[in-house]
Structure 1
């Protein structure tokens, strides 16, 4: 399992917004420059984050982006899955026929993959943006 560049940039953009004063609207350029994200790619990511309900966008001279949810309600898991789909550590744990190997009926590794899958999903879900570690000084 690898987190996509798109998901990584989405997490960085949210981290930036978490560190802004309440009700401040941040521009794409401001976020892109601060986080080192290509502006055009960030514009697409922010649009998806708005569609997923994590951000609100505002048009006009005073426009920009801000969080649509409380930071305690946004987890790494939510953002990653919004950007790249369901998190899977191995195709064997995909209930939609992901495992295609000859050993799938008698696989001795499957219980371990399922345990790892459960732990990864739990841990990513436990990381929310209200954690003090996200606050930049």
Structure 2
């Protein structure tokens, strides 16, 4: 099974940026903890909207875990890219976006994702990975 994790803007700063919200581990440190036998996980991070869209279009995976960061609330183009591909996408956010500033309460991506996981910290990625493993069975 091939899973692609796509992280959007500022997620390259995990472990440094607002540790009270996002934790104190880098994504590289965390991803090694959730490796599963028989699953190839690749990670892509970009601060550039168009690069995220190109990665969604070009993906060769059985499932995508997408944390679009701030683009979640603003990017019709990323929403359209998710809707245009046949690969199932699970939307993940480290923080509970519904408990934060009001401008973060609406996700443009949620309606076109197969599911959404918010507010469980980095564990959200593992929960999404578990979903894809169960889907495969």
| TM-score under structure 1 length normalisation | 0.29
Question: Which structure is higher in helix share?
Answer: 1
Question: Which structure is higher in strand share?
Answer: 2
Greater Cα radius of gyration, structure 1 or 2: 1
